[in-house]
Structure 1
Amino acid sequence: MNQNFSQDHFALFDLPRRFELDTAALDAAWRTAAAEVHPDRYASAGDAEKRVALMVATRVNEAYQTLKSPLRRARYLLSLAGIDTQEESNTSMPPDFLIAQMEWRENIEQAEDDGDSAALERLARDLAAEAARLQAQLASALDRASDYAAATLLVRKLRFLEKLDQEIGDAIEHVLS
């Protein structure tokens, strides 16, 4: 593990700065880093050293959580390139994507109203497949084309899908309760 904790998340774990990531290598690097900086290793240290150890451990864990999540990893890569995804302020989407979102929501609502957990599970699988398709496009846009405009739109689309996934999860919980 790289000992310079002020470097970017990828350098912190000695990983290439790419969207496509070897998750096993990330997990192994995180376990090594977390063991090295775990606050329990500094139990007999002075207060200042304990605070530093806690700050470094927090940084390692935050970096890991960012790189582990495809959506957060894409946002982070874009931020390293100086790109703001404007997810809160720019909600414009292509019309076909917005129509698909409305259809997803209608299907979720219908399945929940019908108490059909199997339909909700199918919707969750279909949504996961769509998210995987968008992530593949994101890998191409970020890693191969350096097309930040396309990547930004894909991040915003994935954010919509993340919200839909939460809605499906809430509907399944409601149906099963």
Structure 2
Amino acid sequence: MDFTQTYFALFGLPATYALNREQLDSAYRELQNTVHPDRFAAQPDAEQRVAMQWATRANEAYRTLKHPVDRGVYLLQLQGIDALDAHNTQMAPAFLMQQMAWREAIDDARAARSVEALDTLIDELRLDHRRIETQLAELLDARQDFEGACEAVRQLRFMDKLIAEVGDVYEELEG
């Protein structure tokens, strides 16, 4: 096995954002069966260490590729682009306005102690998240618009944080 290969090559998958999750899961299980450290328990220490390194790499690759933001960041990284560069925080004005509306909706739901309002908001956020994921696949796979893809990745990252924040408010209201 080659430690320099990409995560996609490790699983025998095409290096695209649009990823077949079932194929990824299957390739991961197959690789884990091959490199799992327990299979090397009776082998010399050096082989056990290599197996542990492969298992660790497989886990890291799987976590990266299964998460939409991390997969986008990784694909851009393969192009030599840091999608989450702290100096590049530019976002479309419409998205910035939408951010403010979502934050107000969270505050309003919290103040009203309204789980129903949170349910509506979380549905909207998940729908928009999927829409941006589809857009990111188009930007990366079809257009190779890396600048646009960077913004889409930043938007998804923001939305992940916002979805987590809504989860916190659910817990707050239940507790």
- TM-score class, shorter-chain normalisation, is over 0.9
Q: Using the alignment, how far apart are the partners of 1:99 and 1:77 within structure 2?
A: 28
Task: Say whether 1:64 aligns with 2:62.
Answer: yes
Gaps of 5+ in 1: none
Task: Say whether 1:158 aligns with 2:143.
Answer: no
Q: Which residue of 1 aligns with 2:19?
A: 21
Equivalent of 1:167, from 135, 152, 165?
Answer: 165
Q: Using the alignment, how far apart are the partners of 1:127 and 1:13 within structure 2?
A: 31
Query: Comparing 113-122 with 66-75, which one deviates more in the overlay?
Result: 113-122
Q: Which residue of 2 aligns with 1:127?
A: 125
Q: Structure 1 residue 68: deviation in Å?
A: 0.5
Aligned residues: 175
Q: Using the alignment, how far apart are the partners of 1:86 and 1:172 within structure 2?
A: 29
Q: Using the alignment, how far apart are the partners of 1:69 and 1:30 within structure 2?
A: 14
Task: Tell me which amino acid in the other structure corresponds to 2:131.
Answer: R
TM value normalised by structure 2: 0.96
* RMSD of Structure 2 on Structure 1 (CA): 1.1
Query: Comparing 95-104 with 43-52, which one deviates more in the overlay?
Result: 43-52
In the TM superposition, 1:32-111 aligns within 5 A as 32-111=30-109
Q: Using the alignment, how far apart are the partners of 1:153 and 1:15 within structure 2?
A: 25
Task: Tell me which amino acid in the other structure corresponds to 2:132.
Answer: L
TM value normalised by structure 1: 0.95
Q: Using the alignment, how far apart are the partners of 1:37 and 1:130 within structure 2?
A: 38
Q: Deviation above 4 Å: which 4+ runs of structure 1?
A: none
Q: Structure 1 residue 92: deviation in Å?
A: 2.3
Secondary structure of the 1:78 match is: helix
